[in-house]
Amino acid sequence: MTTSEHLLQVQDLRVSFRVDKHNTFEAVKGISFDVPKNRTIALVGESGSGKSVSAMAILGLLPDNARIPAASRVLYGGEDLLKAAPQRLQAIRGKDISVIFQEPMTSLNPVFPVGEQIGETLRLHMGMSAKQAATRAVDLLAEVGIPNPALRVRSFPHELSGGQQQRVMIAMAIACEPKLLIADEPTTALDVTIQKQILELIAGLQEKHHMSVLFITHDLGVVGEIANHVVVMQNGVVQEQATVREIFESPQHPYTKALLECRPRLDRRPKRLPVIDDFLKGTGAPRMEEQPRGLKEGDAVILEVKNLGKTFFLKEGLFGKRAVPAVKDVSFKLAKGKTLGLVGESGSGKTTVGLTLMRLHDATSGEVLFEGKNLLALSDREMMAYRRRIQIIFQNPYASLNPRFTIGNVLTEPMKIHGIGANAEERVEMAFQLLKRVGLPEASYYKYPHEFSGGQRQRIAIARCLTMKPDVLICDESVSALDVSVQAQVLNLLQDLQEEFHLSYIFISHDLAVVKYISDQVMVMNQGEIVEIANSDEIYLDPKQEYTRKLLSSIPKGWDAARAA
């Protein structure tokens, strides 16, 4: 492909960050790739691979402590953006090159309606009047599929769902019809249905506006749905780049093979998921025996939920209240030593069910029978004994770990509160054993949460739950935002712990492939109600309800999607 066919050329890009007076950290180590005109390039790799740093270097949005050597070049239409004046970069950003960030709520201004924020871009770069910009903002919201755009243009970001916020970000990004759209993890942690809509939207806009797209993701599963070419990054280095067909059909680098194999698949369920090290050691994917899942006649029931309901009351006007039913007449059983997968879109009531079982929300109606005892009828004092036996792993471990506590404090405090361990020395020894059990070194005991990666923090959250020696673990989106390799490690750990301690799991997730892999039984929820419940293989092979079929059809199909396109 000739230079004239490339919209953007990244040549020997190196980015380092000054840590202190004497030390620097090199995040990007001499990468090169091209973005052709009217094509989509996927930049793929785990957290810390340098994907987002590379994108921010293109836009000139790196922090002050970043250093880029003179030999590095980012050519846009023959112009080196790394040497462009700040005024020139400001003119290019938003007009010629736009970006969709991963977290729309941290990118949208909470004090301005979304229409004003879209209009600001149009006034700045297109010279529109306030009236023209307001009219165009409505058209853009309609183009990205937001219902009632004339009304929603006056909404504040917090009044929109996560998927709608991401659509607003896309509307802002395409407002000036840019030549290059950089999408930085735009679908991470979204429901599969919303994810599919966003992918289809970006692909449609790319074709309609003849844009180039640089799509950044850690999930190769979505790449086949949107990209023409793939660049695989690891530790700041490009390990492989090729067409989508070549990446999916004949990956060359062990790291690429690992990214493809670590993610659970719908067509098989190995006893353990392969991890990155299996491939980097040169041994390739280990041969794994299949693991059957499902409930059997006579399985003992540890938890039974009957007609559970939860209604929230929101303020309306000065004195009024509006009832919002979040969970409606939900009933199910959890078998001892088994996993119940709980799936549905955001707002379906999954997390509310989990928190109500824990009595972190007060139930409006129903019963929660734990070994025959109704937990909802117990006093707070009586409930204390049962809190030990039902624990929850939250989605964001960083938010649920006290930043002022060392990991030692995090693990020993609940033991002390619940009278576990004869003395402090015994509790410390138990903490060391738990760290070892979740695959962390003893030195972790003395560190703070910010010193760990996301996957390590999730392991710490699991270890904290295990301090209570629970019978039931509620996993609330506990692997949703993790890299696929870290996700595989955590799923393997959860299965090991279940086998060793005979734990029962309620596994809440919007990732249907992960749910099928780890669950014996799957319960589908929509708008607070149970739509369908069955053994996991059964529900995936023969879904009975249209809503379940809709969820399953939204699962990224990888290269199958690319071939069908």
Q: Is residue 489 part of a domain?
A: yes
Report how far Cα 48 is from the mean position of its chain's Cα atoms. Answer: 15
Residue 189 lies in a domain: no
Q: How far apart are CA 18 and CA 482, in angstroms?
A: 27
Residue 392: the pLDDT is 92
* pLDDT tens, residue by residue, 308-335: 999 998 777 777 788 889 999 999 999 9
Token pair recorded at residue 18 = 């000054």
Domain presence at residue 157:
yes
Amino acid sitting at position 397: P
| Residue 374 pLDDT grade (very low, low, confident, very high; cuts 50, 70, 90) | very high
Among 509, 505, 409, smallest CA distance to 449 is for: 409
Residue 408: inside a domain, yes or no? Answer: yes
- The residues facing 217 across adjacent strands are 44
Last residue of a domain, one of 145, 177, 209: 177
Q: Average model confidence (pLDDT) for the chain?
A: 89
Q: How many domains does the chain have?
A: 2
Query: Which CATH number characterizes residue 502's domain?
Result: 3.40.50.300
Q: What is the pLDDT of residue 510?
A: 82
Classify residue 141: in a domain, yes or no. yes
Does residue 4 form part of some domain? no
Rounded to whole angstroms, the Cα distance separating 186 from 52 reads: 12
Going by pLDDT thresholds of 50, 70 and 90, the confidence category of residue 563 is: very low
pLDDT band for 189, please (50, 70, 90 cuts): low
pLDDT at 561: 46
Q: Do 118 and 98 touch, CB atoms closer than 8 A?
A: no
Query: For residue 340, what pLDDT is reported?
Result: 97
Instruction: Indicate if the pLDDT at residue 475 is higher than 60.
Output: yes
**For residue range 18-62, what is the model confidence (pLDDT) as tens digits?**
988 888 999 999 999 999 999 999 999 988 889 989 999 999 999
In a domain, 75, yes or no: no
Q: How far apart are CA 526 and CA 350, in angstroms?
A: 9
Model confidence at 458: pLDDT above 60: yes
Residue 169 lies in domain: 110-177
- 241 lies in a domain? no
Please say which residue of 134, 152, 177 terminates a domain: 177
The structure's pTM equals 0.84
Count the helix, strand and coil residues of the chain and give each as a percent rounded to the nearest 5.
Answer: 40, 25, 35
* Single residue among 161, 177, 193 that ends a domain in this structure: 177
Task: Specify whether the CB–CB gap between 547 and 526 falls below 8 A.
Answer: yes
The per-residue pLDDT for 1 is 47
Question: Are the C-beta atoms of 179 and 211 separated by less than 8 Å?
Answer: yes
Residue 152 has pLDDT above 50, yes or no: yes
Q: In the chain, what percentage of residues exceed pLDDT 90?
A: 58
| pLDDT tens profile 50-95 | 998 999 999 999 999 999 999 999 999 889 999 999 999 999 998 9
